[in-house]
C-alpha cells in the first residue's frame, strides 16, 4: 500500500469514529436530557403551588415513605356516592397511562382537558372529613382548572403527582415512593 492510501484510511477511521461519538452524544443529550424539562411544581411556604426551575435531580426525585393502610371510605364521598378511593385510583391510572415514560410532551391536550373537566365535575359537592385531604383536593381543582384553561404540561404533571401520592397515602397503594406534594401523608 502506498502512503496516500494509509493516510486516507486513517483519516476515514478518525472521521467515522468522530461521527459515531457525536451521534451518541447527541442522543444522550436530546433524548435522555429531555425526559423531564427540568421544571417541577413546588409548594411555597404559604401552600401556594407555582412552577419553578428545578435541578435535574430534583425534577423526578421521590421520597421513600412507608406504605399506609387505606383510609376509611367515609373520609371522601363524591356527590354521586362514589368513594374517594375509586376516584383517586381511576385518575392515577389515567395519568400513568397518558403522561409517564416521557409521554407528557406528546399527550393529547384535548384528552387532558376533557379529563380535567371530568375531575372538576366529579368534585362538585364532594364531602371530605379530613382537612389535609381537603387541601389536596383543592390543589387538584386548581391544577385541573389550569389544564382546562390552557395546555400547561406542568399542571398536568402536578395532577399526576397529586393522584400518585394520594393513591399511596389514601388508598394504601403498595408502592413506597412519593413526590411529597400532598398535605395528607396518612393517618
- Give yes or no for a contact between 167 and 173, defined as CB atoms under 8 angstroms apart: yes
Residues sharing a CB contact under 8 Å with residue 37, sequence separation 6 or more, in sequence order: 59, 105, 153
- Contact of 68 with 168, CB cutoff 8 Å: yes
Sign of the four-CA dihedral 49, 55, 56, 58 = negative
Q: List the chain pLDDT tens, one digit each, 187 residues.
A: 688 788 888 888 888 887 787 777 766 666 555 444 444 444 434 444 444 333 333 344 455 444 578 888 889 999 999 999 999 999 999 999 999 888 999 999 999 999 999 999 999 999 999 999 999 999 999 999 999 999 999 999 999 999 999 999 888 877 778 899 999 987 6
Amino acid at each position: 500500500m502506498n502512503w496516500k492510501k494509509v493516510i486516507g484510511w486513517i483519516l476515514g477511521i478518525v472521521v467515522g469514529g468522530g461521527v459515531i461519538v457525536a451521534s451518541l452524544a447527541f442522543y444522550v443529550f436530546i433524548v435522555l436530557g429531555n425526559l423531564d424539562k427540568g421544571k417541577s411544581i413546588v409548594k411555597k411556604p404559604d401552600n401556594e403551588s407555582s412552577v419553578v426551575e428545578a435541578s435535574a435531580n430534583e425534577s423526578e426525585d421521590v421520597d421513600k415513605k412507608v406504605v399506609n393502610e387505606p383510609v376509611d371510605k367515609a373520609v371522601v364521598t363524591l356527590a354521586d356516592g362514589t368513594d374517594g378511593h375509586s376516584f383517586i385510583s381511576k385518575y392515577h391510572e389515567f395519568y400513568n397511562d397518558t403522561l409517564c415514560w416521557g409521554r407528557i410532551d406528546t399527550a393529547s391536550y384535548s384528552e387532558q382537558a376533557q379529563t380535567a373537566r371530568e375531575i372538576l365535575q366529579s368534585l362538585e359537592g364532594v364531602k371530605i372529613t379530613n382537612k389535609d385531604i381537603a387541601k389536596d383536593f383543592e390543589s387538584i381543582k386548581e391544577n385541573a382548572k389550569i389544564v382546562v384553561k390552557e395546555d400547561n404540561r406542568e399542571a398536568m404533571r402536578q395532577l399526576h403527582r397529586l393522584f400518585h401520592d394520594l393513591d399511596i397515602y389514601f388508598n394504601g397503594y403498595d408502592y413506597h415512593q412519593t413526590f411529597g406534594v400532598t398535605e395528607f401523608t396518612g393517618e
